[in-house]
Amino acid sequence: MWCHRLSHLQSQIRHLLKGGVICETFQQPSFKSLFSLTIHWHHTSSKSLNCAWQQHEDHFELQYANTVMRFDYVWLRDHCRSASCYNSKTHQRSLDTASVDLCIKPKAIRLDETTLFFTWPDGHVTRYDLDWLVKNSYEGQKQKVIQPRILWNAEVYQQAQVPSVDFQSFLDTKEALKMFLQNFLLYGIAFVENVPPTQEHTEKLAERISLIRYNNYDRAVINTVPYDVVHRWYTAHRTLTVELRRPENELWVKLKPGRVLFIDNWRVLHGRESFTGYRQLCGCYLTRDDVLNTARLLGLQA
């Protein structure tokens, strides 16, 4: 039995070396309940040499472009781009998603160059370009939206010697604006120097990257938590506060006229120490979506 299998496998390998495509499942009958050996060969061209796939019971697995992707069969059928299922001119589905069998599985799968073909139980054929699958897969999107961030404390930030940006360059050049936003995305704070110490220039600086947002000051009254839960909230708040106030987690910055600090409130908490003497402190809030959108327009991941 095994000699016959080996001979059969050798003949298939010879076929493969001639440029064939083979997808077969070999099962040893007496061990059927224990295992099955599935072998997939996809070497039809130089481009497909870096592509491998496997058909599972409930999903399709694809390895391509240094990405391992998994697709639900219903998703694959629903996203068919054939003329009968999708209008490429209006970018609208013609296929009724509710009509797709939730237990659907392809009858056959084959790879031709960089295109995958799925044949469904009703005979309908769906074709997918490999690059399209990468672009529209969950894993591909996840890689695309990963935002570079640096986890830091006072020592890490000081050793990094993150440069500030000059006010006039910030306003006049995309290069300075991009460098500022890159620092802001990486660390959650960024500085601009040589800003004329007036409210008008501070507004001009802020509006370079976002609309100014107006909101009420200070924390709202905690009136949405019942009494038997609110004590746990304060306990958790105390634990967080102790961690935040560790000296190694605090970065002390002395602002002076002409220096502006931007803070990402989603990443960095900030506060102020008491002071003596006279000063004017000008600040505002920016719309987070606008800041991130400006970064994306400059080619940054945000």
Q: Is 71 exposed, middle or buried (0-12, 13-18, 19+ CB in 10 A)?
A: buried
| pLDDT for position 146 | 60
| pLDDT for position 223 | 81
Q: What is the pTM of this model?
A: 0.58
CA dihedral 216, 219, 221, 225 (to 10 degrees): 130
| pLDDT for position 136 | 92
- Identify whether the C-beta of residue 262 lies closer than 8 Å to the C-beta of residue 190: yes
pLDDT in tens, 71-91: 999 999 999 999 999 999 999
CA dihedral 289, 291, 294, 296 (to 10 degrees): -70
pLDDT in tens, 246-286: 999 999 999 999 999 999 999 999 988 888 888 888 889 99
Q: Which residues, given as ranges, of the chain have pLDDT below 70?
A: 1-49, 144-147, 215-220
Structure tokens at 14: 């010879």
User: Sign (positive/negative) of CA torsion 251, 179, 214, 302?
Assistant: negative
- Identify whether the C-beta of residue 50 lies closer than 8 Å to the C-beta of residue 64: yes
| pLDDT for position 219 | 64
Say how far apart CA 147 and CA 133 lie, in whole Å. Answer: 22
Domains of the chain: 44-145 (3.30.2020.30), 154-297 (3.60.130.10)
| pLDDT for position 217 | 58
| pLDDT for position 27 | 42
**Non-local CB neighbours of 23 within 8 Å, separated by 6+ positions:** 39, 40, 41, 55, 109, 110
* CB atoms closer than 10 angstroms to residue 296: 11
